[in-house]
Structure 1
Amino acid sequence: MSSHIRMTASAADMVAMIEASSQRNIRSFDQPARTYIDAVGHAARSGHTPQITGDVADLLRRNPRSGAYLVLTAHQHAAVRLWQRHRITYAIDRTLWEEVGDTDPDDILPANLFDQLPHSDPFVAFPEPLALDREDDLVEHIVGVFVTGHLPASEGDDAEADTSGCGTIATVTGDILHVGQCSTHDSGRAAISLLFAGVMYGADGRPHLKNGVADVRWTHIAFTMDDDQSLADLIDYIVAEHGDRVPANASGGIAISVKGDLTLMLRRAVSLIIYLCAENADIVAAPRSSANRPRGRRPGQQPKAPRVLNVGYRIGAQLRTWRATIRRASTASTGLSVRPHLRKAHFHTYRHGKGRALRKIRWLSPIPVNFHGHDADTTTVIPVA
């Protein structure tokens, strides 16, 4: 089985596992809490900001940890409900993942960049998990991120709203992020919302189970980018302002994210989202397995299969060919003063449209230098979806 077929299957299996774990987690709450969680999911899909009910507000006062867990579970449910509308799942080529993660963080990004996300409310499956040490000898494997929108606070909310030029939407009641998710393409969206899914593993390297299903933890953060700025500045601002207390769903309470962990998570996730927004992103629909073709659903049937899109598989294959040529050239005499190498990739903003008032971003892939005479294709191919 080829690597891209394995990655496609892995991405589909991962998001299906997360979906099942999410449903099992919701069923662990009593009926009033489930009613609130379900209302939040409906509100997200209709583009409304739900009010925190009296029962939930009372729980937040009496038992902040349990209240926080309930509100954050509602965040998670809203993101999954938004994803279920289109079920878009991006499977990322491992080589592209490495290359985009190494793109210059000082490249300036246009403020309207995230309006150009090609699909609504996707799940981005990481080709390799980000392993983070957690409590009780557990290791959290961040396997992907749900990308949704976030609404501004409603009038009269018992919350404080920060909608400044960049950073986290700090719409909070106490330390709890206000639940106001919406579609990435909702006209009322004020921010981009990221919900990281982390699968817990024990010291034995096996998945940690809760109630018989995978123990999935969630970390939520939302951010705005109203001004042109670099990726480095955006991440530095978020971490500096909110890195000490990022809402994370951990064993029924709020987890404090280590700033270094948060920086790594944001760097990887936001870099990939920027690539997806590039007009020349290499995105191709993955073929569906006959065993996974969606069928009409009846109560009790399995949900539809995710719609998997392969990202970076063509340019990733090209990069691997070039790198293999570089390795061979490093052990041979080339007669060149500068051996074959790749010039670093970067993002570049272009102006277009009437009066050049519109802007779009392109990812300029690595450029092969001094490859003439070697067996690699020297043409720089930047696929266009």
Structure 2
Amino acid sequence: MPNSHARALRTYDINEVFVQELKAREGQLRSNHVWIAPVLDQLSGGRVVTPPRYVPARFTLADQADLIDEASHVGIYRMWARRGRVTFDVNEHLAAELYRSTYKELPGRIFDHLPYINPLVVLPDPWPIRYQGSDGLVRGFFVHGYNQLPERQTYTDEDIEGLGLLFVIDLLDDDTGEVRQQTYIRLHVPTGLRQFTLKQAVGFAAARAEARWARTPEEKPVLALFEALLKPALSILVYLCCDNRDVVEPPVVKPTRKKRKRPVQRDRDPFFVEVGWRVGPRLHAARRAAGRVTEGDGVPSGVQRAPHQRAGHFHRYWTGRKRTQEVTMFVEPHWVNFHLLPEDVDPITTVVPVDPQRHDPLRRRGLRSRTGKLSKALTYAA
């Protein structure tokens, strides 16, 4: 089986786990807590959230806040499903490079250039974290927009105040290491700022965190958890917004003029977008070929470091007339001791620029235009 095909099947399986779990949660909310159904519909439709008219007396304010948070998780999933189920399938080797990437400050408005509305990012290899004293694995995250006042979840368009990330986390059993349950953490990113650091992003997320985190007595573990989530996630999102990103859509499905006998099912398959499938394997092959230590002169220990790549990072450039336009580029990991690389090894580290296809194969995917505005495809959105 080709490696790319195997990766696609693996991503599809992970995607289906998310879908089934969130569908089950929605069913439980609607059957066990009828009073929260209007709030759930508001959250999933991008409408302003209003307090429920009737709440059973047995629910405390803390119970209500937790259930509304859970409803927001389901609402984000439903927004993703309604807007085309766009899923970023990130190559594992590129994901590893982005996980190690460094940055000092991020431009807040760069996220206006996300090429799709409400995407899901599936991680090829999960990120290990510590969650409330136990081991956990981050499997991926949904991207959505939000407005604080009035409170509402919305789509990632020009009307949002900021960007929200819903992380999907598997919690592991301390004894067996098996997955015991799936949980979610929703964090907000300060995209309204001109520039922000990781520390500022963590503080912003903590100030707007869900109700359950406000009741946590220990602040340091919570901030460490938020940092472990945001640092690599922001690297992936910034890469998706860079001009030199390696992003490829699947083959175009030509529209048919035949009338459909029945409407398109809402539970259609995800729309997978390949990220880094060309540059990732090249980076990995070069690393494997050069990842050794060789003897040499000029080093006190008598050992010279083998050819290797330093971590990639993001850099802002000023272009255009009088250098008034700012663009962000991902600087690929560059080589150290390049002259020691064997002659038959190709040290390709350059991401080939891709002109993203600005079409919607099924005319329901909610794509963005190059300037960040909503495309006409939204008129076909389900």
TM-score by length of 1: 0.75
Q: 2:168 aligns with which of 197, 207, 210?
A: 197
Q: Report the equivalent of 1:163.
A: none
CA-to-aligned-CA distance 1:171-210 (integer Å, 9 cap, x gap): xxxxxxx5x111112x2200001111113333433333xx
Change (3 A) 1:237 1:139: closer
Q: Report the equivalent of 1:267.
A: 231
Matched residue pairs, number?
333
Q: Does 1:307 align with 2:263?
A: no
Q: Report the equivalent of 2:35.
A: 32
Q: Report the equivalent of 1:381.
A: 350
Q: Does 1:54 align with 2:17?
A: no
C-alpha contact 1:247 1:255 (8 A) present in aligned 2: no
Query: Shift of residue 382 of structure 1?
Result: 1.5
Alpha-carbon distance in structure 2 between the residues aligned to 1:198 and 1:298: 37
Change (3 A) 1:364 1:37: same
CA-to-aligned-CA distance 1:74-125 (integer Å, 9 cap, x gap): 211221122111211112222212211222222x332311101111111111
Q: Report the equivalent of 1:149.
A: 145
SS at match of 1:28: helix
1:303 aligned partner, one-letter code: D
Query: Shift of residue 371 of structure 1?
Result: 5.3
C-alpha contact 2:42 2:48 (8 A) present in aligned 1: no
2:210 aligned partner, one-letter code: P
Change (3 A) 1:93 1:49: same
Q: Report the equivalent of 2:318.
A: 351
Q: Report the equivalent of 1:12.
A: 12
Change (3 A) 1:111 1:302: closer
CA-to-aligned-CA distance 1:267-296 (integer Å, 9 cap, x gap): 1111111111111111123579xxxxxxx8
Q: Does 1:283 align with 2:269?
A: no
C-alpha contact 1:27 1:34 (8 A) present in aligned 2: no
CA-to-aligned-CA distance 1:335-358 (integer Å, 9 cap, x gap): 998753324422121233455433
1:146 aligned partner, one-letter code: F
Q: Give the superposed CA RMSD.
A: 3.4
CA-to-aligned-CA distance 1:110-163 (integer Å, 9 cap, x gap): 23111011111111111222334456x864322111001111302xxxxxxxxx
Alpha-carbon distance in structure 1 between the residues aligned to 2:339 and 2:163: 41
Q: Does 1:79 align with 2:48?
A: no
C-alpha contact 1:325 1:375 (8 A) present in aligned 2: no
Q: Gaps spanning 5+ residues in structure 1: where?
A: 155-177, 209-214, 289-295
SS at match of 1:225: coil
SS at match of 1:258: helix
C-alpha contact 1:122 1:147 (8 A) present in aligned 2: yes
Change (3 A) 1:379 1:10: closer
Q: Report the equivalent of 1:247.
A: 210
C-alpha contact 2:202 2:230 (8 A) present in aligned 1: no
Query: Shift of residue 315 of structure 1?
Result: 1.4
Alpha-carbon distance in structure 2 between the residues aligned to 1:198 and 1:287: 31
Q: Does 1:219 align with 2:185?
A: yes
Q: 1:117 aligns with which of 114, 119, 122?
A: 114
1:54 aligned partner, one-letter code: R
Q: Gaps spanning 5+ residues in structure 2: where?
A: 253-259, 355-382
C-alpha contact 1:280 1:383 (8 A) present in aligned 2: yes
C-alpha contact 1:345 1:365 (8 A) present in aligned 2: yes
TM-score by length of 2: 0.76
Alpha-carbon distance in structure 2 between the residues aligned to 1:204 and 1:255: 27
Query: Shift of residue 323 of structure 1?
Result: 0.9
Query: Shift of residue 360 of structure 1?
Result: 1.8
Q: 1:68 aligns with which of 62, 65, 70?
A: 65
Change (3 A) 1:39 1:238: closer
Change (3 A) 1:254 1:326: same
1:96 aligned partner, one-letter code: L
2:40 aligned partner, one-letter code: I
Alpha-carbon distance in structure 2 between the residues aligned to 1:342 and 1:230: 27
C-alpha contact 2:86 2:119 (8 A) present in aligned 1: yes
Q: Which moved more, 1:195-204 or 1:359-368?
A: 195-204
Alpha-carbon distance in structure 1 between the residues aligned to 2:236 and 2:275: 10
CA-to-aligned-CA distance 1:196-247 (integer Å, 9 cap, x gap): 1113333433333xxxxxx4311111122334435434335336x54xx832
